[in-house]
Amino acid sequence: MNPPSIPLSVIKIGGGLAAVPGALDQVCGVVSAVGCDYRILVVPGGGTFADTVRSFDRTLGLSPDAAHWMAILAMDQYAHALAERIRGARLIDEPGALPAAGVSVLAPYRWMRAADILPHDWEVTSDSIAAFVAGALDAVRLILIKPASGIPEPVDSHFRRTLPAGLPCFTIGWDRMDELAACLSG
């Protein structure tokens, strides 16, 4: 008989946290701690890595396809930083590599390139990618950790079309990490 599967929670860690002194380390510490009790897949934001792509696009111009894939590659860079900072986390690049327990960090480029179901424009951000990942993996919840509290909705206008109907989604600021355990158990 197989042991019962631990339900999966997807947590998107916003790239903007890196710009707030102490925020990234605090968030990674809390995610590491709750990873002992939950099965978590972290989806990275793009942060300064994606901002570099946006700047390049504004200055020199990119096709929508090139900008899209370069921005997702930026998420891969942030994934490496998160996997290094979340104690015990495992870096993965495809859903088949997701372990049955603990914390994993997704470097999404390879999977997103193969799936290629989201529009190639700046309206699709890591929030929509996290929603796609949560739905594709039948996660029980999606939690978006943002650089500020009080953000009522993700800023990505495509997000609601990507989020599976009925999937609970919580948005919390990095300074409210005490709410993470309640979101994970709720």
Closest CA to 43 of 117, 122, 139: 139
pLDDT of residue 156: 77
Residue 102 DSSP class: S
The mean pLDDT value for 137-166 works out to 83
pLDDT of residue 150: 59
pLDDT of residue 151: 60
Residue 137 DSSP class: T
Write the CA distances from 68 to 63, 65, 161, integer angstroms.
9, 5, 18
Counted residue by residue, the chain has a size of: 186
> Across 45-140, where does the E strand assignment appear?
90-92, 103-106
Segment 77-95, tens digit of pLDDT: 999 999 999 999 999 999 8
> What pTM was computed for the model?
0.93
Segment 152-177, tens digit of pLDDT: 555 678 888 898 999 999 999 999 89
The mean pLDDT value for 129-147 works out to 95
Does 110 have pLDDT greater than 90? Answer: yes
The mean pLDDT value for 20-27 works out to 94
The mean pLDDT value for 66-80 works out to 96
Residue 155 DSSP class: S
Q: Give the bridge partners for 172, in sequence order.
A: 145
Q: Supply 176's token pair.
A: 């409210």
